Every structure is written in C-alpha cells, then in structure tokens.
Amino acid sequence: MGLFDRTNEIISDFEKVIKQPIIPENKEKLYVGVDLGTAYIVISVLDEHKRPIAGAYRFAQVVKDGLVVDFIEAIKIVRELKAEIEEKICCELIYAAVAIPPGTSLNDSRYIQNVVEGAGFEVTNVVDEPTAANAVLGMTDGVVVDIGGGSTGLSVLDGGNVVYVADEATGGTQFTLVLSGAYKITFEEAEELKKDVKRQKEISAVLKPVSQKVGTIIKKHISSFNINEIYLVGGTSCLENIEREIEKEVGIKTYKPVNPLFVTPVGIAMNCKFN
C-alpha cells in the first residue's frame, strides 16, 4: 500500500460528497469539523464510522494569522454553509470540532470557537491544525506541516505522539503577494492565477523564493529533532513542485497527498467529540 493511499481515498470521497452528499443512517452521531482558514472556510461531515458524507466550502478572508478579523461575516458564512449541508442531508448538525494554528493563545482560540458557536454549533473540541491533519494522514514519526493561507504550522511526531508544535507567518497570502508583484496584477487576480493548473510550472518558478522561505522555517524548528520525513498539507501545498523546493532546502524527504487542501478539514471532523 502506498504512503498516502488511505489519505487519498478519504479525501477523494470527501470531494465526491461535497457534490453529492449522502444522507446518514445514524443522524444522532455525526462528526463535524469547521475549518476557519485564511483563504477558505470548510465544513466537513463524517458518519458514525468517520466516513465522509457531506461538505461545503467558500472562499473568505475573515481570518488573518489565526485571528478572526470579520466576526459577523465569519458567523454568517459558517451559518450559511451549515444550513446548506443540513438541507442536503436532512438533519441538524449539532456538535463540531474546530482547529487553531499551533501556539495560538487561549484568548485567540476563543474567537474561533465563538464564531462557530455563534453559527449554531456546540463546539466539543479544539485541536491544532497539523495534529488534526495527522488524523487523516495517520503518521507516527516525522513532521506534519500545514501551509495555510496565513502561516506555516507544524507538529513533530515521535511514536505517534506530538512532541513539538510551532507556527510562523508565511503562507498562501505571501505567495499571492509575490505573484501580484511579479505580474503586476491585483491580489484577487493573483489568487486565481495561483490556482491555474495550466500555469503551475511557470508560477512555481516565480514562487521558488517563497517555497524556500517555508523550507527555512521548517528547518529551523526541526533542527533539534531526528526527522526523516516531512508531510505537507494545507491549500498552499497544492502548488506544483513545492515539496521539491522544500526538500532541497531542508534536505529531508518531503511528501504530500494528491489534494492537500481538504486533509486538515476532514481531520478536524475526526476530532469531533460528543457530550
């Protein structure tokens, strides 16, 4: 079995149920994750066996560096996505888990929790993003790196236990700003360019210095650990060749699943608890 076979299967299933949700047999036990990202808000829903049955997401810039900067809009979007899913699967979503960047203070994490509760959920667990991602990856040793919209977060794993977490600014926003400057286009146009599959090789060359910067962040934080493998998740990890640039910079074998964008949201749902 390949390194990410299970992960890729789970994420592929999630992508399918976003388009064609499955009405659950047991509506009393649904695992829900709400990911308030810098670029996307994602709600993922799993059944009692932790298999994807529904999901919805929307581009939104209501969070910056792990902080909610537009509280009202964030609640509005989460509430709308929640209602959209509930209508499709014919039941109410009650409990949810949320995630925060590693090292986020208790006060800052409360803002994330307040948004989700303001949208009608009961938050039953708060987990850091790379640790949530590893619920899907299932790695026991190495470092899970979540390159999100605003920052790069990482969790060092030893024997399946998280022994170190860190988070630093430099994420998708920085990549977009570099593209915006290089091509003399607006931030919004640069965001679209960044997602253009046909121009990935071209833009990966332009973005090489930012990929290297992410590599230096990882290298700094893992220098005192014996790390043999790096696993990338997060929307920015979708960029072509980013794993190669990081591997060159850090000098450690670096891998990523087929679609890193939805790994953390699904992992958050896997961490949902019930009262």
Question: Three-class SS string for 54-114?
Answer: EEEEEECCCEECCEECCHHHHHHHHHHHHHHHHHHHCCCCCEEEEEECCCCCHHHHHHHHH
| AA letter at 166 | A
Amino acid 222: pLDDT? 94
| AA letter at 210 | V
Q: How many residues does the chain have?
A: 275
Cα–Cα distances (Å) from 149 to 99, 143, 207, 216, in that order, read 14, 19, 15, 18
Amino acid 84: pLDDT? 97
Predicted TM-score (pTM) of this structure: 0.90
| AA letter at 48 | E
| AA letter at 19 | K
Residues of the chain with CATH 3.30.420.40: 10-128+262-270, 134-258
Neighbours of 237 (CB within 10 A): 25
Partners of 128 in the β-ladder:
100
List of the chain residues with pLDDT < 50 = 1
Element (H, E) at 26: none
Neighbours of 184 (CB within 10 A): 8
The closest of 38, 111, 118, 47 to 78, measured between CA atoms, is 118
Query: CA Rg, the chain, in Å?
Result: 18
Cα–Cα distances (Å) from 261 to 40, 152, 256, in that order, read 10, 14, 10
Burial classification of residue 208, based on how many CB atoms lie within 10 Å of its CB (0-12 exposed, 13-18 middle, 19 or more buried)? middle
Partners of 152 in the β-ladder:
147, 168
Cα–Cα distances (Å) from 221 to 65, 66, 184, 212, 255, in that order, read 19, 19, 34, 14, 18
Start-to-end CA distance of the chain, whole Å, equals 36
Amino acid 66: pLDDT? 61
Report residue 12 as tokens.
Answer: 């592929």
Confirm if 258 and 240 have CB atoms less than 8 A apart: no
- 134-258 has which fold? Nucleotidyltransferase; domain 5 (3.30.420)
Amino acid 1: pLDDT? 47
pLDDT digits (tens, 9 = 90+) for 88-135: 999 999 999 999 887 776 666 788 899 999 999 999 999 988 889 999
Confirm if 32 and 272 have CB atoms less than 8 A apart: yes
pLDDT digits (tens, 9 = 90+) for 228-243: 999 999 989 999 999 9
To which residue do tokens 């949208």 refer? 119
Report residue 139 as tokens.
Answer: 């790695």
- 10-128+262-270 has which fold? Nucleotidyltransferase; domain 5 (3.30.420)
